[in-house]
Amino acid sequence: MPRGTTKRRPRTTAALLGAALEVFAERGFHAATIEQICERAGYTRGAFYSNFKTKEELFFALFDAHSERVVTSLKALVEEVGSDAPALGRFAELLSRIEPGERAWYLVSTEFTLYAIRHPEAARVLAEHDARLRAEISRLLVDVLHRAGRSVDVDPDQLARLLVAMREGGLAQSYVEPDRLPPGELERRFLPTLLLGVSTERGGDT
């Protein structure tokens, strides 16, 4: 049987991913070691290297898993908001809900972004993964506006970048001052106005 095709492999990979998220969040990407991740997962270094070549590769596996959850969640939100003007407010309200587990991913992804800024090759790969996620977000933003009877007047990719900036910038402030800015508050208050400002009613002049 070829290497990596055993029935245990998905379970091993999942355990390593879960352990990596915890260890990266606790110790930081740079400080975390493969040994610590393996110990947390209950596997050997051999199990690690049968699944991943480096810590960077492990991070990008975490990134893709998180992206898949984000896209699945956004698709569900778009289906839930309905097909009228208040849909934008409903979408913002749903999008503003931040799961408690999001804090760990925020810590890990933010630190890796700083690492990537200092390492051009890591930045290149991160940009590729970001672009794939952003393409999905762009399509969903166009869809939710379409359901609200509106057309997008700006580059959807740029709109997705702005939404990501709002999300990540807002979370940074919320995690520092949770009593002053609850997580998701910026999206809830300002996203409907933003979406109205970058779109026009289909068939109308405004």
Residues 92, 192 within the same domain: yes
Residues 105, 194 within the same domain: yes
Residue 151 DSSP code? E
Strand pairing partners for 17? none
Residues 109, 187 within the same domain: yes
CATH number at residue 40: 1.10.10.60
Contacts of 170 (CB under 8 A, 6+ apart): 181, 183, 184, 185, 186, 187
CATH number at residue 121: 1.10.357
Tell me if 103 sits within 8 A of 21, measured CB to CB.
no
pLDDT at 206 over 70: no
Residues 88, 99 within the same domain: yes
Residues 136, 99 within the same domain: yes
Residues 145, 109 within the same domain: yes
Residues 58, 47 within the same domain: no
Residues 26, 125 within the same domain: no
Number of domains composing the chain? 2
121 within domain boundaries: yes
Tell me if 87 sits within 8 A of 78, measured CB to CB.
no
Residues 42, 133 within the same domain: no
pLDDT of 4 reads: 47
Write the pLDDT tens digit of every residue in 146-166: 988 899 999 999 999 999 999
Place of tokens 């051009």: 120
DSSP per-residue string spanning 43-88: --HHHHHTT-SSHHHHHHHHHHHHHHHHHHHHHHHHHHS-SSTTHH
CA distance 84 to 67: 28
Residue 61, both tokens: 């596996």
Residue 97 DSSP code? -
pLDDT at 2 over 60: no
Mean pLDDT calculated for residue range 135-144: 94
Mean pLDDT calculated for residue range 97-121: 94
Write down which residue in 24, 52, 80 finishes a domain. Answer: 52
Residues 72, 135 within the same domain: yes
Place of tokens 């997962």: 41
Global pTM? Answer: 0.87
Residues 100, 151 within the same domain: yes
Write the pLDDT tens digit of every residue in 7-17: 677 899 999 99
Strand pairing partners for 200? 151
206 within domain boundaries: no
178 within domain boundaries: yes
Residue 183 domain boundaries: 54-201
CA distance 60 to 125: 9
Write the pLDDT tens digit of every residue in 34-51: 999 999 999 999 999 999
pLDDT of 205 reads: 46
